[in-house]
Amino acid sequence: MRRATYREGVRTALRDALRRDPRVFLLGEDVGRYGGAYACSAGLLEEFGPERVRDAPLAENGFVGAAIGAAMGGLRPIVEIMTVNFALLALDQLVNNAATLRHMTAGQVSVPLVVRMATGAGRQLGAQHSHSLENWFAHVPGLRVLAPATVQDARDMVLAAFDDPDPVVIVENQVLYPTEGDLDEDAPPVSPWHAIVRRPGRDASIITHGGSLSKSLVAAELLAKEGIEVEVLDLRCLRPLDVDAIVATVTRTHRAVLVDESWKTGGLAAEVCATLVERAFYELDAPVARVCSVEVPVPYAKHLEDAALPSPARIVDAVKGVLHGRI
């Protein structure tokens, strides 16, 4: 066990996968000489060479398509797309090819593909690099979608995705890369397909994922100082959702606040809300509250970007709202 950054957690997993299976190769924008847009592949080109750490041009539809073909041919590509906004150029490949081929071939063809991409805002990179579109991928049957929020999950989820025979999309909130946490490089990866309670509580449940987990935990600390104990559930896997864990936390607390950095309209929080209505309606003692990004393209100016995103203060207000009937 050691202290490490989130990007080190990712890099540890990439190195491990490259070492243990000669079929693995990395492909993506700046993954080679530059070491990755977020330094997740730094040093891997020197260790494994240009055949296995391959730089790609800004042509997401092309190189994701090439990776799908390589996966169909028996290789194990791990693709990095610089930002979820750029991944939109590869939607055709991911939705119409990677996600469908097992179904359309009656199980004869699998696509063991891992696609990593940065998501979220908070780094003043402007609207074209800062959106949270992970729910778009979570909408698609045939894809699995993971959202690591901790250093350990950053490592474990890459390894778990690498072992999966079907395509897995990993969305990594870009504000997490420099953050630190505990990393056990020798531990077997914890199953990523289940949600985890990061903080137990009795008064309300905060259900969240990715970059919003740390904000939710800060909000929980602030509420605890006022005698309000909230449970914080980290979804971790966005498709398939761990419905049992979502129902279980609300069954314990009877109130729910959903924190999601994507927009409210048509977002993942709406899906979780609908799930609660279908599966746990009579457990709810108050309407479900959603804390999402303001419905504008993410601003560049720091003060406007901060105002547009979920914050601990907004989460605290939402929890108090469901407790005191203000929703």
**Contact of 130 with 307, CB cutoff 8 Å:** no
| Amino acid code (one letter) for 281 | F
List residues bridging with 119 in a β-sheet.
173
Rg (CA), the chain: 20
Residue 305 is among the residues annotated as catalytic for this protein: no
Residue 178 burial class via C-beta count within 10 angstroms: exposed 0-12, middle 13-18, buried 19 and up: exposed
End-to-end CA distance of the chain: 43
The rounded distance, in Å, linking the Cα atoms of 108 and 9 is 34
Look-up of token digits 């028996």: 74
Tell me which of 8, 29, 60, 80 is the catalytic residue. 60
**Cβ of 86: how many Cβ atoms within 10 Å?**
17
180 is catalytic: no
Catalytic residue (choose from 8, 129, 131, 209): 129
Sign of CA dihedral 246, 84, 220, 191: positive
Alpha-carbon gap, residue 189 to 155, rounded angstroms: 8
The residues assigned a catalytic role are 60, 129
